[in-house]
Copies of this chain bind each other. A is one copy, B any other.
Amino acid sequence: MNILFTTYLPEKGFDDLQAHRLVIPKASQSYFTHEELARLLPEADILVSTFDYAVPQDLLLKAQRLRLIANFGSGYNNLPTDYCREHGIMVTNTPEPVIEPTAEHAWALLNALAHRTAELDRRLRMPEYDGIRFGVMQNLGTQLYGKTLGIVGMGNIGQALARRAVAGGMKIIYHNRHRLPDETEHLYNARYVSLEELLSTADVVSLNLPYTPQVHHLINKETLAMMRPSALLLNTARGAHVDETALIEALRTKQIAGAALDVYENEPHISHGLLEMDNVVLSPHIGTGTWEGRISMCRCVSENIQNFINNNIHLLNSVL
């Protein structure tokens, strides 16, 4: 089998595929261009793609041998799934290994925002600490213990975030397409509410839902106006959930108190307004980006491929 990678991924995660021919971009961190991929695809039986690399339909026209696209990532909106379905190309993803790293990163960003960790660390490194003084009534943050976390999208990642927040003394409310079973709600003492109630009562609003056109700009001028002046917004899902211009305006006018963001509307571009504000914490879309998380995701891709080769279809993370 010829297995073609769009993107450099550590070979260590693919030890079990040694019997096959792996074509991975040589330089670490590099991606094949579309031209390079077009040349290589006719020889490929399996394509390994990553969530941040779009594979346009045109490229697949000459991929006559292609039987599987094993996507690295939980989302697969980078792939032309309709074309794949029509042409009998199976598509798999890696939903399980992204759960804990993403929830951990969301919780890290929220804690950094509430305790002003990034802001104070940044200012302490400036000349004369940028005026920071030590003192009991100085540099005060916001306590999360006792506050209410509103989770929009209570899937696996939302629940892994809830588990951390409960241990941190937070109360959980959530909104979801479907209400969760009682026993799941009891795990987190979570209360199902309408989106309006969530936005207007939560101290922290966290977005943990997948992107679909129906939820484009879910957070916009109108929904930001429903939030409390003390509320914090946490987005580790997809940039297009939030109207970034409206968010900047809401932060400037103190309509809400702060935001912690891992994703942006026009990545890798981050709006200048966000880069200027101290009540914002920013990370460069690294929700699942720990070494351990990346290796687990590689192993999951590798398993998906082995299951495909061995016809273990029932064990496959197939999304089509």
Q: Are B9 and A137 in contact (CB under 8 A)?
A: yes
A168: chain B residues within 8 A (beta carbon): 104, 107, 164, 167
Instruction: Mark A residues whose CB is within 8 Å of B.
Output: 7-10, 28-29, 31, 50-52, 72, 100-101, 104-105, 107-109, 111-112, 114-118, 120-122, 124-125, 129, 132-146, 163-164, 166-169, 267-268, 270, 275-276, 281-286, 289-294
Partner of A284, one of B72, B120, B167: B120
A112 CB to nearest B CB, Å: 5
Q: Are A104 and B268 in contact (CB under 8 A)?
A: no
Q: Are A137 and B270 in contact (CB under 8 A)?
A: no
Q: Are B10 and A283 in contact (CB under 8 A)?
A: no
Q: Are B145 and A100 in contact (CB under 8 A)?
A: yes
| Cα–Cα, bound, A8→B291 (Å) | 46
| Cα–Cα, bound, A210→B7 (Å) | 50
Q: Are B292 and A124 in contact (CB under 8 A)?
A: no
What is the copy number of this chain in the assembly?
2
A122: chain B residues within 8 A (beta carbon): 118, 121-122, 125
Q: Are B109 and A104 in contact (CB under 8 A)?
A: no
A117 CB to nearest B CB, Å: 5
Asked whether A136 and B9 contact (CB < 8 A) given A117-B117, A167-B163, the answer is yes
A141: chain B residues within 8 A (beta carbon): 105, 286, 289-291
| Cα–Cα, bound, A10→B101 (Å) | 40
A234 CB to nearest B CB, Å: 13
Q: Are A286 and B29 in contact (CB under 8 A)?
A: no
> Most B CB atoms within 10 A — which of A112, A115, A164, A283?
A115
When C-beta atoms are compared, the residue in chain B nearest to A297 turns out to be B136
Q: Are A284 and B129 in contact (CB under 8 A)?
A: yes
A258 CB to nearest B CB, Å: 13
11 sample A-B contacts, Cβ–Cβ < 8 Å, listed by A number: A29-B133, A29-B138, A51-B136, A52-B134, A100-B143, A100-B145, A105-B141, A109-B115, A129-B270, A133-B284, A134-B285
A284: chain B residues within 8 A (beta carbon): 120, 124, 129, 132-134, 138-139
Q: Are A112 and B108 in contact (CB under 8 A)?
A: yes
Q: Are A115 and B166 in contact (CB under 8 A)?
A: no
